[in-house]
Amino acid sequence: MIIVTGGAGFIGANIVKGLNERGRDDILVVDNLERGDKFLNLTDCEIADYRDKRDFLTDIADGVYAGRVEAIFHEGACSDTMNHDGLYMMRNNFEFSKTLLAFCEREGAQFLYASSASVYGAGRVFREERAVESPLNVYGYSKFLFDQYVRRRPKGGCQVVGFRYFNVYGPREQHKGRMASVAYHFFHQYRETGQVRLFGGSGGFAAGEQRRDFVSVEDVVKINLHFFDHKGVSGIYNVGTGRAQTFNDVATATVNALRRHNGEGPLTTAELVAREIITYIPFPEALAGKYQSFTQADVGALRAAGYTAPSYDVEQGVGRYVERLLASGRPG
């Protein structure tokens, strides 16, 4: 049996689908469906069972899964960086993760879990080293603290792999609301109003020129499954493309993919700004001091661990994503 926590969520559901494409359907999805619309992420997936997170924790304590689990993909977490409830965040992201790691160590099961690039805070170096890690919010701290917990554990037990996801975008994120990717929001803004809205300048960057490492969820799934296939490799790894691109790049890629669908030719960023298709809003005061204006994954450790496949850049990945949104019939 394979367990995917957060399996009805964005990355989790994509991992379930990726496992299905390999012929695996012996999958237990663990999630919290109080946000019921997340079920849509699983309607084209095959799973063996579903458990609510709270019932699942009781099952773990009662030994229900002893001797039955091959691997846990632990994607379940509160990922809302604007949620400042530290008690909830630490219980959900830190304590829950410790419980599952202890289970996998007892069972000899693989443990592949979601960390986050938010552990790096406002730094300009994004390498898997303690010296450059300084989260800006309690979400980032919860992820950072579990990474530290993993680093201190005795080596030589079960496989443990942490994935520091950078800015992930792609199918099955529609339930995330304001926490969905900018590509998702740009898609809907342009379809509804003919414009897209980006933040004005911040952190020394001009309007729309803040830079992030935007990574397609397609690449995220490939990386997860690579380590699933290589049980002898443990560690904490950045999951990004290794190159920073601007929010203007994402907006331009999104609009041009939709223009292509409508039989229209591409426009440059400058042309989109001149036509007021790309517009800018003041940078929110609530994000001052809590916003990463630049991220770029150092993927050296990932490559050294044996993952060598190329990743989609924004133009490729966002183009594929827009096509999926248009083809789905329910893009929002």
* Residue 274 to residue 58: CA distance in whole angstroms: 58
Q: Assign 239 to helix, strand or coil.
A: strand
222 is catalytic: no
- Round to whole Å and give the CA distance between 332 and 328: 10
Which 3 state secondary structure label does DSSP give 293? coil
Q: Which residues contact residue 193 at a Cβ distance below 8 angstroms, ignoring those fewer than 6 apart?
A: none
For residue 311, give the 3-state DSSP assignment: coil
Work out the angle at residue 204's Cα, subtended by the Cα atoms of residues 202 and 206, and round it to the nearest 5 degrees: 65
What do you get for the CA distance between the two ends of the chain, in Å? 33
Residue 330, exposed/middle/buried by CB under 10 A (0-12, 13-18, 19+)? exposed
Assess whether 176 carries a catalytic annotation: yes
Q: Choose the catalytic residue: 17, 50, 53, 176.
A: 176
Contact predicate 10/168, CB 8 Å: yes
Tell me the three-class secondary structure of 152-201, residue by residue: HCCCCCCCEEEEEECEEECCCCHHHHHHCCHHHHHHHHHHHHCCEEEECC
Output the six-digit token pair for 63. 């030994």
Distance CA 291, CA 329 (A): 34
Residue 305's CB is within 10 A of a number of other CB atoms, namely 18
Among residues 139, 184, 312, 321, the one annotated as catalytic is 139
The catalytic residue positions are 139, 176
